[in-house]
Amino acid sequence: MAEAHQAVGFRPSLTSDAGEVELSAPMLQEIYLSGLRSWKRHLSRFWNDFLTGVFPASPLSWLFLFSAIQLAWFLQLDPSLGLMEKIKELLPDWGGQHHRLRGVLAAALFASCLWGALIFTLHVALRLLLSYHGWLLQPHGAMSSRTKTWLALVRIFSGRRPMLFSYQRSLPRQPVPSVQDTVRKYLESVRPVLSDEDFDWTAALAREFLRLQASLLQWYLQLKSWWASNYVSDWWEEFVYLRSRNSLMVNSNYYMMDFLYVTPTPVQAARAGNAVHALLLYRHRLNRQEILPTLLMGMRPLCSAQYEKIFNTTRIPGVHKDHIRHLRDSRHVAVFHRGRFFRLGTHTQSGLLSPRALEQQFQRILDDPSPACPHEEHLAALTAAPRDMWAQVRRSLKTQAQEALEAVEGAAFFVSLDSEPAGLTREDPAASLDAYAHALLAGRGHDRWFDKSFSLIVFSNGKLGLSVEHSWADCPISGHMWEFTLATECFQLGYAADGHCKGHPDLSLPQPQRLHWDLPDKIHLSISLALRGAKTLSGNIDCHVFPFSHFGKSFIKRWHLSSDSFIQMALQLAYFRDRGQFCLTYESTMTRLFLEGRTETVRSCTREACNFVRAMEDKEKTDPQCLALFRLAVDKHQALLKAAMSGQGVDRHLFALYIVSQFLHLQSPFLDQVHSEQWQLATSQIPVQQIHLFDVHSYPDYVSSGGGFGPADDHGYGVSYIFMGDDVITFHISSKKSSTRTDSHRLGQHIEDALLDVAALFQEGQRLKRRGLGEDDSGHSRDSLPCHTRGSRAPTTATNF
Q: At residue 19, does pLDDT exceed 70?
A: no
Instruction: Provide the mean pLDDT of the chain.
Output: 87
Determine the average pLDDT of the residues in 62-74: 75
Q: Are 741 and 680 in contact (CB under 8 A)?
A: no
CA distances from 383 to 108, 314, 317, 569 (A): 56, 11, 9, 38
Q: Name the least confident of 98-112, 181-195, 608-622, 758-772.
A: 98-112
| Model pLDDT for residues 473-528, shown as the tens digit of each residue | 999 999 999 999 999 999 999 999 999 999 999 989 999 999 999 888 889 999 99
| pLDDT recorded at residue 68 | 80
Q: At residue 793, does pLDDT exceed 70?
A: no
314 versus 4: the higher-pLDDT residue is 314
Among 5, 375, 470, 500, the one annotated catalytic? 470
| pLDDT recorded at residue 694 | 83
Q: What backbone torsions phi and psi does residue 270 show, to the nearest 5 degrees?
A: -65, -45
Determine the average pLDDT of the residues in 298-303: 89
- The neighbouring-strand residues paired with 351 are 348
Cβ neighbour number for residue 404 with a 10 Å cutoff: 22
Determine the average pLDDT of the residues in 170-189: 96
Q: Are 453 and 310 in contact (CB under 8 A)?
A: yes
| pLDDT recorded at residue 46 | 58
Name the amino acid, one letter, at 203.
Answer: A
Q: Are 510 and 401 in contact (CB under 8 A)?
A: no
| Model pLDDT for residues 308-328, shown as the tens digit of each residue | 999 999 999 999 999 999 999
| Active-site residue flag, 42 | no
Model-level pTM?
Answer: 0.88
Cis peptide before 669 (omega within 30 of 0): no
Q: At residue 568, does pLDDT exceed 60?
A: yes
| pLDDT recorded at residue 134 | 82
* Interatomic CA distance for residues 168 and 441, integer angstroms: 33
| pLDDT recorded at residue 39 | 65
Name the amino acid, one letter, at 139.
Answer: P
Task: For the chain, give the percent of residues with pLDDT over 70.
Answer: 87
| pLDDT recorded at residue 283 | 96
| pLDDT recorded at residue 726 | 86
| pLDDT recorded at residue 458 | 98
pLDDT band at 54 (very low <50, low <70, confident <90, very high): low
Number of residues written out for the chain: 801
Task: For the chain, give the percent of residues with pLDDT over 90.
Answer: 65
Q: At residue 138, does pLDDT exceed 70?
A: yes
* Interatomic CA distance for residues 457 and 417, integer angstroms: 6
Give the containing element (helix H, strand E) for 212. helix 196-212
Cβ neighbour number for residue 18 with a 10 Å cutoff: 16
Q: At residue 90, does pLDDT exceed 80?
A: no
167 versus 90: the higher-pLDDT residue is 167
